[in-house]
Amino acid sequence: MPRLRFLGPLDILVVFGIGAGAALAWVAGPQAHGSRATAYVEGEAVAWWTLDGAPANDTVVGALGPVAIEHGNGAVRIMASPCPNRVCLRQGRVSRLHDQLVCVPSHLVIVVEDVGNRRDGDLDAVH
Amino acid sequence: MAESAIRNALLMSISVAALLAGCGPEPVSRHWTAMSCNFEAAIHGSDGKVPPRSALDTLQDLSARYDSLFTDYDPSGPLSALRGKKGDTVRVDPEIIQVLTQALAVDRASGGSFDIGVHDLKQLWGIGSENAHVPPADSVKLYLIRRFGFAPTATDTLPSPLRILPDGRVVLLSDSLPIDLGGIAKGYAVDRLSRKLSELGYPVHLVQAGGEILTRARKPVGPWKIGIKNPRALDSLAGVITLDSGMAVSTSGDYERYFESDGARYHHIFDARTGSPARGGTISVTLLCPTSLACDAWSKPMFVLGPRRGRILADSLGLQAFWIRETSGGLCSRRTQAWHGRLAADAVPECASDW
């Protein structure tokens, strides 16, 4: 077997390790959890929260009035809303990248995002 | 010494290449609500005819126009003109005519599986509201007889609620029937918003409305990647679609709007013949199509028809379809021939047979 001139066995191991890591990032990326949630009202970002802290509460003013948000422990959820059918409350906690909480009557969308640059495994959308 | 330097440079290059693979400029994106759902647009590139934020403002305004045009909740909205007496001839907005024309064509081609007269039925079941419930069987039968003049069987041809004349006027063929374009209008809006972005000089973009997703052109780096939710474990994925050249994607599933009663799930995709949520075995169907309008409209009939009746139709229309059902052994799937190989990280095995 011809000897590789520049790469020793340890180097080859490192190269394979990097390749395997990149492949894993591609496959595992879709399962990735977000690190930040951003609230949009009427298309404008009005608030954002990091999700890696302890649970905390905040309020966003939507088209119908204040909407109570709980964020932390890696997830975000809507706690209370003045919308008539409370559909947004039933959406529960979301944590994955691209997950959304939507309250149409309040014109509110909360999107789970990632801080920093997009990675190879990131999805453009989830549905 | 030289060997060591070259080796280090080589290793460094490989590392950087692996880490940077897929990285590209961040898209400019925005989320908002219209047409009773969430909208999103993501623009790649910044050299359009107007700044990206202005382009997104234009999209938001356009979606507000379609919200007003296609709403079936506003008793004085444009669609209310179609809620007249049988035999009336009315004029409506040309864009409504475009959508109606497509809706009637899908209904015909699917053997009556795309119903634009479903508004009252949704009210009867209360789907999506706090009052969702299973109505008495007599109420459903009464609805069907009032709507069609008879209680349809599986083989009956259902009468169309309206006819479009060559001059663009509409002849009403039912009395006081509210028209619901919720199963197709979002797809139409997504197509139009995408076209507007291209006109504004942003040909590389993603637009979505309530799960109707359209990608256009090629991203600077890597393919478009769209995750499909597992219909029974919504925090995980059934798979990932990779698209090189841009297409529309749509999923209809029994997990989107539903309620449970006595252990049974009642969802929002109705079978017009029974007046009840479709119970063919499908729990989710995902389509890939050239346009969002086609995907939005055809996802409902494909859900109702299932793979046994839907596959040949999908193939003939150039649609790629992926059906999922739930069995005692877990989820399994069927797909059209053209779908095979589309899904990365495919987590749902093939079913042994169609349903």
**Angle at which helices A9-28 and B2-20 cross, to 10°:** 10
Instruction: Check: CB of residue B311 under 8 Å from CB of residue B336.
Output: yes
- How many Å apart are CA B47 and CA B52, to the nearest integer? 8
Q: Do A7 and B240 touch (CB under 8 A)?
A: no
Cβ of A102 and B130 within 8 Å? no
Residue B4 lies in a domain: yes
- In the prediction, which pLDDT does B340 show? 84
For residues B156-176, give the mean pLDDT. 94
Residue, of A4 and B318, whose pLDDT is higher: B318
Q: How far is B318 from chain A (nearest CA, A)?
A: 22
pLDDT in tens, B233-288: 887 889 999 886 779 999 999 998 899 999 999 999 999 999 999 999 999 999 99
pLDDT tens track for A6-51: 667 777 676 666 656 554 444 444 456 788 999 999 999 999 999 9
* CATH number where B8 lies: 3.10.520.10
Asked whether the beta carbons of residue B227 and residue A123 sit closer than 8 angstroms, the reply is: yes
H, E, C per residue of chain B: CHHHHHHHHHHHHHHHHHHHCCCCCCCEEEEEEECCEEEEEEECCCCCCCCHHHHHHHHHHHHHHHHHHHCCCCCCCHHHHHCCCCCCEECCCHHHHHHHHHHHHHHHHCCCCCCCCCHHHHHHHCCCCCCCCCCCHHHHHHHHHHHHCCCCCCCCCCCCCEEECCCCCEEECCCCCCCCCCCCHHHHHHHHHHHHHHHCCCCCEEEEECCEEEEECCCCCCCEEEEEEECCEEEEEEEEEEECCCCEEEEEECCCCEEEECCEEEECCEECCCCEECCCCEEEEEEEECCHHHHHHHHHHHHHHHHHHHHHHHHHHCCEEEEEEEECCEEEEEECHHHCCCEECCCCCECCCCC
Q: Are B298 and B287 contacting, i.e. CB atoms less than 8 angstroms apart?
A: yes
Least CB-CB distance to A127: which of B14, B30, B229? B229
- Which tokens hold the place of B251? 């999923």
Residue B217 lies in a domain: yes
- Residue B139 pLDDT: 96
Q: What is the mean pLDDT of residues B184-192?
A: 98
Question: Do the chains contact at B249 and A96, CB–CB below 8 Å?
Answer: no
For position B109, what pLDDT does the model report?
Answer: 94
Average the pLDDT over B57-71 and give the result: 97
Could you say which residues from 239 to 298 on chain B have a Cβ atom under 8 Å away from some Cβ of chain A? 240, 249-251
Residues of B in contact with A7 (CB under 8 A): 7, 10
- Which ipTM did the prediction report? 0.82
pLDDT in tens, A74-101: 999 999 999 887 888 888 999 888 889 9
The Cα–Cα gap between A71 and A66 comes to: 16
pLDDT of residue B129: 82
Of B213, B235, B234, nearest to B224 by C-alpha is B213
Instruction: Answer whether B15 sits within 8 Å of A43, measured CB to CB.
Output: no
Check pLDDT > 50 for residue B184.
yes
Question: CA-based angle B246:B249:B254, to the nearest 5?
Answer: 170
Chain B closest-CA separation from residue A33 CA (Å): 10
Residue B73, phi then psi, degrees to nearest 5: -100, -20
Per-residue pLDDT band at A119 (split at 50, 70, 90): very low
Q: Report d(CA A114, CA A47) in Å as an integer.
A: 15
Interface with chain A: mutation pick from B23, B44, B235, highest number of A CBs within 10 Å: B235
From A70-79, B10-19, B152-161, the region with the lowest mean pLDDT: B10-19
Probe site for chain B from A40, A109, A124 (most B CB atoms < 10 A) = A124
**Per-residue pLDDT at B318 exceeds 70:** yes
pLDDT at B3: 63
> How confident is residue B11, by pLDDT bands cut at 50, 70 and 90?
low
Q: What is the mean pLDDT of chain B?
A: 90
The answer to whether the Cβ–Cβ distance between B213 and A6 falls below 8 Å is no
Taking CA atoms, B68 is separated from A9, B36, B63, in Å, by 67, 11, 9
- CA-nearest of B318, B316, B322 to B302 is B322
For residues B315 and B133, what is the distance between their CA atoms, to the nearest angstrom?
Answer: 37
B343 in any annotated domain: yes
Chains A and B form CB pairs within 8 A to the count of 114
Position B79 in a domain: no
Alpha carbon of residue A71 to chain centroid: 12
pLDDT for the residue B253: 94
Count up the domains in chain B and report the number: 1
| Record: contact B42-A5, CB cut-off 8 A | no
- Average pLDDT for A43-61: 94
Answer whether residue B85 is part of any domain.
no
B121's tokens: 């039925």
Kindly state whether residue B74 falls inside one of the protein's structural domains.
no
- pLDDT, position B19: 47
Residue B306 lies in a domain: yes
Question: What pLDDT is recorded for position B24?
Answer: 57
- Per-residue confidence (pLDDT) for residue B142, from 0 to 100: 94
pLDDT grade for A54, boundaries at 50, 70 and 90: very high
What is the extent of the structural domain holding B198? 1-62+90-355
Give the per-residue pLDDT at B2.
Answer: 57
Helix (H) or strand (E) holding A61: strand A56-62
Q: Please indicate whether residue B25 or residue A55 has the higher confidence score (pLDDT).
A: A55
The C-alpha atoms of residue A82 and residue A103 are separated, in whole angstroms, by 10
pLDDT in tens, B93-150: 999 999 999 999 999 999 999 999 999 999 999 987 888 999 999 999 999 999 999 9
Whether residue B98 contacts residue B184, with contact meaning beta carbons closer than 8 Å, is answered with no
- Positive or negative torsion for Cα B167, B107, B184, B206: negative
The SS3 call for residue A72 is strand
Length of chain A: 127
Give, rounded to a whole angstrom, the gap between the first and last alpha carbons of chain B. 68
Q: Considering only residues 2 to 31 of chain B, which have any Cβ-Cβ distance to chain A shorter than 8 Å?
A: 3, 6-7, 10-11, 14-15, 18-19, 21-24, 26, 30-31
> What is d(CA A58, CA A69) in angstroms, rounded to the nearest whole number?
5
What local confidence, expressed as pLDDT, does residue B22 receive? 47
* B240 Rama class: left (phi>0) / alpha (psi -120 to 50) / beta: beta
List the helix and strand counts (H, then E) for chain A. 2, 8
CA distance B32 to chain A (A): 4
Other Cβ atoms closer than 10 A to A53? 11
Asked, for residue B72, whether it belongs to a domain, the answer is no
Mean pLDDT in residue range B36-50: 93
Q: Show the tokens assigned to B96.
A: 């409504």
Least confident of A56-60, A119-123, B40-44: A119-123
pLDDT for A16 equals 67
The predicted model scores a pTM of 0.86
Mean pLDDT to the nearest integer, B334-352: 89
Q: Report yes or no: B60 at the A interface, CB cutoff 8 Å.
A: yes
